[in-house]
Chains A and B, each alone.
Chain A
Amino acid sequence: MNEALEVKELYVSYQGDIVVENVSFSIEKGKIVGIIGPNGAGKSTLLKAMLDLIPNDKGHVRILGKDVDDARKLVAYVPQRSDIDWDFPITVLDVVVIGTYPALGMMKRPKKEQRDWALECLKKVGMEEFKNRQIGELSGGQQQRVFLARALAQKAEVFFLDEPFVGIDATSEEMIMLILQELRTEGKTILVVHHDLSKAEFYFDELILLKKSLIQYGEVQKVLEPAVISKAYMNHHLFLNRFGEVQSS
């Protein structure tokens, strides 16, 4: 059993409009996979639908050979930053402690053991000195690192990250990438929704190019072919900016 994730004929609609159409792929363990595509391509929807966070019309998903409901505790989900209320009365460390909740089970309280583990995870992302801060006091990149620490605290096998690099500083981005690569060497599988193509070839082993339906899935070089990319970005003008990065407008 070498498949971390298997998606078969997945269809998702929102208020009668089809958002994800007939998407199938299967991902081996130990890969960092980017989900890319133009705005409104259904990237985040796909990520959520894979975990049954939104209902699908049809399709089947298996995580590490199990049905989604049996695999929930093997998955860590890092939401988009815009999905979080940053004024919430919670400290940085307590956010990371939440990562220990799934393993604790209902009604049990986190103890010192859980708090120590959370602090260790916080250290991995270099945020331990901020542990008593309210989360809204951090910068975007720091917030993202705290949420990655929470995912680490979950001791998951599969990681789902929704747009982790939006609006964050270069140091944080680099640090997050390093940690993801470390997880990969431990055999974990990581899925990242990513909005721009520029760094895709450095960050990911494989890409899922999405525009409602699956345009292409495979090794990064295979997907980043201009002929393939233009299928997804048909109405978007691709150009190389002055740094030589591919951008879409």
Chain B
Amino acid sequence: MKITEFVHALMTYGFLQKALFTSIMVGVICGVMGCFIILRGMALMGDAISHAVLPGVALSYMIGLNYFIGAVVTGVITAIGIGFVSQNSRIKHDMAIGIMFTSVFAVGIILITFMKSSADLYHILFGNVLSVRSSDMWMTLVIGIVIIGLVYLFYKELLVSTFDPIMAQSYGLPNKIIHYGLMILLTMVTVASLQTVGIILVVAMLITPAATAYLLTNRLWIMIYLAAGIGVVSAIVGLYFSFSYNLASGATIVLVSAFLFGIAFFFSPSQGLIWKAIKIRKNRTNLS
């Protein structure tokens, strides 16, 4: 299918417009949050929290609650549990993550089997962007505004507590509150991304665009804008492939972002593998 047809379909179908809008929002907020997640060395934590929302979502469906509430509850409980286990034993942080999130995820799978259809599980895990309802779209928008607003207001505090937590603490910033605040935002990002990329692949949208941006700049605020931009491009192009070739939207979006990462990895002006190799060769020929 050609791009013009995609654009035409976009003008015609409301569901596709909702899908596109939600995907773009998800691209932005995952990119922004992802920057802080990777710079704080919490990539694995992002994976854990995103999986940990599953039982919360399942429970919310069962008792007819908004799944946002359940997701935040189980996400935060898991984050606290991971911190508790690693701080109170010789178990390292990554081990604690591995134990806690898989357990919570397993509980979620069992809960979901009690629900009527297995299609629900499939959609929660892998996303189904073309079935985005208006209410989902608005929730994503609200989550997006909250996250961008908070990052804008507390940019300075996030920067210093990420770069030099000891100094941040020494002048009185509450590092713990910032950490758990970020965990809450992370569960919100996951909820916002459920329909678009699904639980399993949220982590890719958190890490890959941010990592790509990380290779391209030496300034945090530029990195945040770049990551958001790369997230948006991945979302739009991914949605195009998903719609045109009837592929899972989560997978196509993630693959586009991985492709962009690959380009940065090889061709980044400062960090790219290719330029480094050329420089090394040049230096050697100059010497011989």
Contacts and interface: CB of A to CB of B under 8 A. Distances in A.
A154 B222 CA distance: 26
B163 A88 contact: yes
Interface of A: 48, 51, 53, 69, 72-73, 75, 77, 79, 83-85, 88-91, 94-95, 98, 101-102, 104, 106-110, 134, 154, 160
A98 B222 CA distance: 17
Contact of A90 (B153, B166, B167, B219): B219
B179 to A, nearest CB: 15
B166 A91 contact: no
A98 B160 contact: yes
B217 interface: yes
Given A88-B39, A106-B154, A109-B156, 5 more contacts: A75-B171, A89-B219, A89-B220, A110-B156, A160-B170
Given A101-B160, A110-B156, A79 B220 contact: no
Nearest to A137: B218
A124 to B, nearest CB: 19
| Most B CB within 10 A of own CB, among A51, A101, A108, A154 | A101
A50 B202 CA distance: 42
Contacts of A102: 171-172
B153 A107 contact: yes
A169 B220 CA distance: 29
Interface of B: 39, 153-157, 159-160, 162-164, 166-167, 169-172, 214, 217-220, 222-223
Q: Is the interface of B mostly helix, strand, loop or mixed?
A: helix
B164 A79 contact: yes
A104 B156 contact: yes
B167 A79 contact: yes
A75 B167 CA distance: 10
Contacts of B169: 51, 53
A75 B218 contact: no
B166 A83 contact: yes
Contact of A106 (B157, B164, B167, B222): B157
Contacts of A94: 219
Nearest to A94: B219
A53 B160 CA distance: 15
A102 to B, nearest CB: 4
Contacts of A72: 170-172
Contacts of B170: 51, 53, 72, 75, 77, 160
A89 B171 contact: no
Contacts of A84: 163-164
Given A53-B169, A89-B223, A134-B218, A101 B39 contact: no
Contacts of B218: 89-91, 134
| Most A CB within 10 A of own CB, among B154, B164, B214 | B164
Nearest to B224: A89
B35 to A, nearest CB: 9
Nearest to A133: B218
Contact of A98 (B39, B163, B172, B217): B163
A109 B221 CA distance: 13
B17 to A, nearest CB: 35
B171 A73 contact: yes
Contacts of B162: 88
A101 B223 contact: no
Nearest to B175: A53
B217 A89 contact: yes
A85 B154 CA distance: 21
A94 B223 CA distance: 14
A114 to B, nearest CB: 11
Nearest to A75: B170
A101 B171 contact: yes
Contacts of B163: 84-85, 88, 90, 95, 98
18 contacts: A51-B169, A53-B166, A53-B169, A72-B171, A72-B172, A73-B171, A77-B166, A79-B167, A85-B39, A89-B39, A89-B222, A95-B163, A101-B171, A102-B172, A106-B157, A107-B154, A109-B155, A160-B170
